[in-house]
Amino acid sequence: MDENKKAASNDKLESAVIKSPCVYICCLDDDDICLGCYRSCDEICKWGAMDNEQRKDVMKKVAAREQDSGNMMKF
């Protein structure tokens, strides 16, 4: 792959919209964290207005919450 195609591919990946982690198991715990996607109620409500950087930050928190929960899916 030449350098121009590689750069275009990287640009495309960086600009791709980060999709919602929603798994349609919507139930908030006592801390207002969804037991399905591990987002806070506030993060869920604001997701549609977030840019990719904000979404990346939320996804980092989601990963940490999922790991802390002990409910991670293992394959």
pLDDT at 60: 97
Domain range list for the chain = 17-69
Whole-model pTM: value is 0.75
pLDDT digits (tens, 9 = 90+) for 2-49: 666 655 555 555 678 999 999 999 999 999 999 999 999 999 999 999
**What's the distance, Cα to Cα, between the start and end of the chain in Å?**
33
pLDDT value for 27: 95
Q: Residue 33: beta bridge partners?
A: 40
pLDDT for the residue numbered 71: 79
pLDDT at 52: 96
Interatomic CA distance for residues 71 and 69, integer angstroms: 5
SS3 state of residue 12: helix
The full DSSP string for 11-58 is HHHHHSPPPP---S---B-TTSBBTTT--BHHHHHHGGG--HHHHHHH
Tokens of 40: 């806070």
State the pLDDT confidence band at 66, using cuts at 50, 70 and 90: very high
